[in-house]
Amino acid sequence: MSHQPAFFQTRILLLTALSAGMMFISGCAQQKKEQTTLNIGFQKYGVLPIVKARGVLETALKNQGVQVKWVEFPAGPQLLEGLNVGSVSFGEVGEAPPVFAQVANPDLVYIANQPGAPLAEALIVPHHSAIRTVKDLKGKRVVLNKGSNVHYLLLKVLESNGLTLNDIEVVYLPPSDARAAFEKGAVDAWVIWDPFYAAAEQQLNARTIATGQNLVKNHQFYLADRKFAEQYPDVLKTVVNELNTTTQWVSQHQPEAVKLLEKPTGLPADVLKTSIARMSFGVSPISGEVAKEQQYVADAFYQQKLIPNKINIQAAVLADSSSR
């Protein structure tokens, strides 16, 4: 009988240890279960590659148990296709790609945007060209990337000068091929965006006929998969805050931002300096006014039969996005 207290005491200690062990294992399993990976789609130029190079987002999301994985894409349409098939949950593109993507993917949602940067895209001609005004484009060959931001810019430039697409010969080529055609004189004008625009100015001595000023907004948009956005609103709030902070850093540290983009873009510092100076700074949730401006782009593309049916931009903006 004198041994019973020791026996029960040992048993209690064992049960306590087992219970603590089970709680530890359960806690680890729960922690593992709650670990989230945010796959971010990015391109060589823009704010996201700067965020990636600085490593600030990984630090900001660490306390939320979120790992960041970066997935590079050659252009906006491919990035949004990645969003459609689930290889990424978040990414940055210009105005046009989401319009086309929304037709095929109703689960795409607008999260935030940078202010407009209308000076970051333009209609340019060779320095020796006889073309001096937009009206001189009548009957000329104009090259651009089909369905891109500058497609909308071209529509607005022509419209403001009493012309339509029927008054010119449109040639559709991606930027690298468009530049080659422009250099060879195979086309008369090129509608293009930064940093390709800045490169043409400095390397080809191209002359600007019109920019987007007073014609288009030229926003950069941040988009996400709807399911991810609804499941992890706090994660996206952190991302938007960090993006906003980064653009403010870029505005005050442009030489450092140039250095961070030299390697991924392969562009010289002078070209990047010019293009970054035309970038817009600040990132904020989608407002009703921005959604309305994006609707103008979508409606213009529908009228030109570039998309098969009308779309509602506001339907792709989360109802509570303004509270993020």
Q: Which domains are present in the chain?
A: 35-116+219-323 (3.40.190.10), 118-211 (3.40.190.10)
Span of 71-80, 210-219, 220-229, 238-247 with lowest mean pLDDT: 71-80
> What strand order describes the sheet that includes 189-193?
169-172, 141-144, 189-193, 121-125, 207-211
pLDDT for residue 107 is more than 80: yes
250 contacts 282 by C-beta, under 8 angstroms = no
pTM for the whole thing? 0.84
**Predicted confidence (pLDDT) at residue 10 exceeds the cutoff of 80:** no
Of 289, 290, 288, 250, the closest CA to residue 272 belongs to 250
Q: Hey, what long-range contacts does 133-138 have (CB within 8 A, 24 or more apart)? A: 133/161, 133/209, 134/158, 134/160, 134/161, 134/163, 134/209, 134/210, 135/161, 135/162, 135/163, 137/163, 137/167, 137/168, 137/188, 137/189, 137/209, 138/163, 138/167, 138/168
pLDDT of 21 > 80? The answer is no
Q: Looking only at Cα atoms, what is the longest distance across the chain?
A: 112
Confidence band of 147 (pLDDT split at 50, 70, 90): confident
pLDDT tens, residue by residue, 262-314: 999 999 999 999 999 999 999 999 999 999 999 999 999 999 999 999 999 99
State mean pLDDT over 188-212: 97
Contact assessment for residue 110 and residue 316, using Cβ atoms and an 8 Å cutoff: yes
Write down the pLDDT at residue 221.
Answer: 97
Give the residue, 108 or 75, on which the prediction is more confident.
108
Please state the rounded mean pLDDT for residues 149-172: 96
pLDDT bin (cut points 50, 70, 90) of residue 11 is low
Q: Give the mean model confidence (pLDDT) for residues 44-66.
A: 94
Q: How confident is the model at residue 135, as a pLDDT?
A: 97
Q: Is 220 in a helix, a strand, or coil?
A: coil
Q: Is the pLDDT of residue 49 over 60?
A: yes
| The pLDDT of residue 151 | 93
Question: Taking all residues of the chain, what is their mean pLDDT, rounded to a whole number?
Answer: 89
Q: How far is CA 97 from the centre of its chain?
A: 9
The candidate with the shortest Cα–Cα distance to 223, out of 245, 240, 207, is 240
Side-chain-side CA neighbours of residue 303 (13 Å):
11
Task: Quote the CA–CA distance of 135 and 112 in Å, as a whole number.
Answer: 37
Would you state the structure tokens that stand for residue 131, as one six-digit string? 């073309």
For the chain, give the percent of residues with pLDDT over 70: 88
Say if CB 91 and CB 79 are below 8 A apart. yes
Helix axes 254-265, 269-277, angle to 10 degrees: 120
